[in-house]
Structure 1
């Protein structure tokens, strides 16, 4: 009997739906199709010039042509610790920081370090596509807790309590949220954190959208707000979203020294050090001013208002106004089962995945269906693209979805 060519562990991983949608949109664009892509969470702005210049200068220095410590350049680790205290009030030593190849490696390292087979992780849903896959790769079991638009996509302590079992080890906490843009209030953050502390759970908190909140809504780090968590909290972050550095691939995790040491050991065998040039660029980013970030945020806020208004003008679409990140999560359940025209005759999409595929085929607009993040019936759209493309894309959606019978 021949063995399977691909391991069960890897075969079980789903492709990143957001990257798949983005890749298809870019391929169609390259083929000359006028596709508007709302798929990837990628700012359309260039990386600020002072950050690029730091990388250019670093590239000419021979010391950066060599291996560096697997856990990150010491000066960058210290700068990340300083930046974290500056932005969220959480105090950590440089030895508690691991610099990773983007935020995704920080996610993977964390779950691989903390989880044993069968350990459960409570995952507020809708979730970012990578979380459950990283949990499963580590042998863990993601336990989804769904919060719909009726409750602002925010889970409650009662829901978390109902999901708790004797195998629960970690609560994943994300605010501002990808994919919904939901932001927990300081009071909600404290209540959830205190619940987790009372149950002896670890909390893994992804804070990569910390600087992107709107309407005066504050960002609250659960690590700072709930000191009762003690040393059972891991912070995930990176430069990708805040500084328009998605392609530079620099993230980090902050946690107890023993966890960081173990995760560093893992990374030393997986990838070794993050490329030195992007590390120097990240050093310039986290050590520098937030001026460029604030300028981008003005544009994001303008686009946020435009896309919410445009989507809510469509019968059958309910799009709550997000308070953070740069996504909207539109409820399209009322459109499922409706009849839409297509090149091959009338079609009745039964799921949001079918609706998203129909939209791409018929009007060349790429959106990500809710199945990538949890239950069917929703569409995620990133408003990090340019204003003109956003207006064109929303206009096409209004024209097409408005034809539903």
Structure 2
């Protein structure tokens, strides 16, 4: 049996691979703490769970329209009105099986074979493989720790060619936590529009922003130029619904129709009961967000102080999400020459699971998630520090 060349070129998710290795060590009886998986440690709000239970009890268990039930699509449009004063209609939205699925649908709908897609690095692990599965060409645009790992127009301009079709932006960022101020986002969007480059703005972490930084979005740009940008969102991070798989897209109606065609021939509708729960999430209350941002900002500061104390480390202080992405190559040596081998060493010697920066396009770095209890986080980082400083 011959597997397609398209699939053979795709790499498995590094974050899931790290988690699998950690599970293997746990099965051997070893105590493992994971700072690898991007998953909040808070419970899904009770009113969301109650909405799911009610849907089951009322027999709402059948197929729904492919793009989602009308009340959920309307609720997504209402989200952008509530938080960003952007006016959208239900026809501008589609519900998919998580933010990852939303992104995949967009790449499949927008990219022709050979089209180039600009992806600032560090990037979320799945962007390049998704582009390749759509038969496009990922063009990686490096950024610097000194800039907070934020892409600059001049760097995008240098990477642009006549084949450039799409630009992917992510704010706040996974893996860096870097967050684009609104004026920076708008500057890039204006440049891309003049170049005829479509923007996919991944805003899955949009509500997890820490003061004094302020929220930013390209949904306001979409309102002016709906043919030039699409916004991806999800309930996984902001509502602790990682296992529920609810992703959203805000896009031009024609693009939504194209995504419906793709989704209709692949997964069809999102789980019907989950859609009812998602309506409850979008309609509020949203007090969990305030609780989480306070906790995550405190944990960020705790983790940042510890990591920054390690000699030779460069670690931008992130304004969002729940990750730190320090440059740790000063600790590389002959036995651990890269981020992957360093993560293996830390996992085996300290029992701490991390994700190598190579998975995100920067092999000098390692991603640390601080989405866990303060004391466990502190103890875990101290263990990592001892491994790094070991002679």
Q: Same fold (TM over 0.5)?
A: yes
Residue in structure 1 matched with residue 12 of structure 2 by the alignment: 15
Displacement of 1:74 in angstroms is: 0.8
2:222–2:228 CA contact under 8 A, matched in 1: no
Gaps of 5+ in 1: 338-346
Query: Using a 3 Å threshold, how does the CA distance of structure 1 residues 31 and 386 change in structure 2: closer, same or farther?
Result: farther
Displacement of 1:372 in angstroms is: 0.3
Show the 5 A alignment for 1:314-325.
314-325=310-321
- Structure-2 separation of matches of 1:26 and 1:93: 44
2:146–2:316 CA contact under 8 A, matched in 1: no
Residue in structure 2 matched with residue 205 of structure 1 by the alignment: 201
Q: 1:324-371: CA deviations, max 9, x gaps?
A: 11000010011112xxxxxxxxx6211111111111111111111111
1:26 and 2:23 aligned:
yes
- Structure-1 separation of matches of 2:269 and 2:132: 25
Query: Using a 3 Å threshold, how does the CA distance of structure 1 residues 265 and 225 change in structure 2: closer, same or farther?
Result: closer
- Structure-1 separation of matches of 2:237 and 2:338: 30
Residue in structure 2 matched with residue 144 of structure 1 by the alignment: 140
Displacement of 1:215 in angstroms is: 2.4
1:58 and 2:55 aligned:
yes
1:354 and 2:350 aligned:
no
2:98–2:234 CA contact under 8 A, matched in 1: yes
Residue in structure 1 matched with residue 99 of structure 2 by the alignment: 103
Give TM-score scaled by structure 1 length: 0.94
Residue in structure 1 matched with residue 355 of structure 2 by the alignment: 368
Residue in structure 2 matched with residue 121 of structure 1 by the alignment: 117
Residue in structure 1 matching 2:296, options 271, 291, 300: 300
Residue in structure 2 matched with residue 381 of structure 1 by the alignment: 368
Displacement of 1:30 in angstroms is: 4.2
Aligned length: 391
Residue in structure 2 matching 1:156, options 152, 155, 170: 152
Displaced runs of 4+ in structure 1, greater than 6 A?
none
**Per the alignment, in what secondary structure is the counterpart of residue 399 of structure 1?**
helix
Gaps of 5+ in 2: none
- Structure-2 separation of matches of 1:31 and 1:104: 32
Residue in structure 1 matching 2:37, options 12, 35, 40: 40
- Structure-1 separation of matches of 2:356 and 2:162: 33
Displacement of 1:93 in angstroms is: 1.0
1:135 and 2:131 aligned:
yes
Give TM-score scaled by structure 2 length: 0.97
Displacement of 1:132 in angstroms is: 0.8
